[in-house]
A and B are shown apart, each in its own frame.
Chain A
Amino acid sequence: MRTITVDQVIETVAGLCQEANFRLGEDVLAAIERAQDEEISLTGKDILQQLLKNAEIAREEAVPICQDTGFAVVFLELGQDVHIAGGDLYAAVNEGVRRGYRDGYLRKSIVDHPFNRVNTGDNTPAVIHTRIVPGEHLRIIVAPKGGGSENMSALKMLKPAEGVAGVKKFVVETVRAAGPNPCPPIIVGVGIGGTFEKAALLAKEALLRPLGTPAADPAAAALEKELLETINGLGIGPQGLGGQVTALAVHVEVHPCHIASLPVAVNLNCHASRHKEALL
């Protein structure tokens, strides 16, 4: 049994909220640089250059990459031999978000009720996903998610007979319909299988994988390559103004499913793919 205090959790979450919003991952930067070489649209090339410059300013001046500093989505992998001391774990995560967003001058984008819509003023509550794992560590991943790309995400329960062709069609149509709205070049997270909510969570988790790392499942990895090629053939391009780089990556995660079901979830992310993690 190992003890981790809520104060450690608060401090870690607060730091990760800021780091995620100020520092674009090296994998994303490398992907944008590659995209700049590949893009044939001059406007597209210029936009990608602006995104690189933007990331540099954000990193150097500790200002947010994007003004939409997101819904704080927090993944906890809690070792079953950890004892959380000093208070409520989820309250600690929310306190970390509160401090991180306040001290980092991050935008508060959460409203208290879907109809009432009064800003909570501190970007809480976070959306927290917890997994209990073996061991005596707590892994915390903070993944702030912007509204623009989240709004263009979609889920569909396909018939098993529609198969992989049906999955491809749904993913490509989701990206096509989204067009310029999710701020391309995007990262496409796809969750296939499981139940309704499992597919959605898989799609979100797919966005956390380092860009360019293929799926562990060979069929999923093959589908990623095929989807990326089709999506980049749509012509949407950087910011939807026309070009060859619409997506930087497609990440697919699969899960066993019911004999009657073929759920597919597509979670879109803008180029500001923000997620940072720490291991306590």
Chain B
Amino acid sequence: MSVLHSPIHDNCTCTVDVLDGEVDAGHGFRVRASARCAQGCDLRGVTIAFHAPGGELATAMLAEADDDGGYTTDEVTLAAPASAGHHHFTATITSSAEGLAHAAPPAAFEVAAKAHAARLNAWDLPSAIVAGEAFRFKVGVKCSADCDLAGKPVALFDTDQRQVSTAQLGNDIWPGTTALFFAEMAARAPDDAGRHEWTLAVPADEAGLPPHAAGTAVLSLNVVAAPECSVTVETIAQDGQTPIHGARVVMHPYRAVSDEHGIARLRVARGDYTILVSAAKHLPIRRDVTLTADLITRAELEHEPPPANPDDFY
């Protein structure tokens, strides 16, 4: 290196690209720093330090040369503060290159941190609920940042926004999930038949660290009149005439699944229905009926053909 160089190249520049938009409070966000020496030094190996107001968060070395004479770090993940809002950081050059010290004004950057979102979901809700009767279902809540939600309250509101049920999320997560906390809820159906859209809600916790936003989901109820007829469907495999266990029988909005004897039983109101029957590896069938009395019927399902081999066409 030439002795004509100044011992400190203090005319460097440093910038930081924030790669993520708004992030969950307390969660990681990605940045990449770039630096350039006005005298064209190779800055690979120079260390960049990332600072929050409370101190240093992380360091990274400049590694890649870009097309404009600058050098960049790999992606670095920094932790956003646990509170919501805009948070400010700086990045500085902290080590030398080519035997010379380099310096640049601190590069300011910021990230927007938001309250965690609550994602609600309901399942195991009966497809038809008799007016005025009790029903049960499951509700799950997931934090967008996978927080522990055990003990958090969930409320159910009717169409008039009256609270009709509450539950607390349990300590366990739903099987097969990573952070879905759940509870079983019970409520009483409206007295009038028809579709009703109720609302599930978890309250906000804005003061918490990290803060959590409120979340809602629609709970759609199919409320029906008291059943008047019984329908028994015997589901049979056409080849072999054996009962099918687990066949689905749908007379919208009523649903049933066949037992080990191939029998599915439904209690329905009088009226016109399409009976749809399906089962694994069998072709579904349908039949239209006008139901004025109890019905016992048989559904023979044909085994589905194997998937077509396209090469057979040539």
Chains A and B belong together in one complex = no
Q: Which residues of B are interface residues toward A (Cβ below 8 A)?
A: none
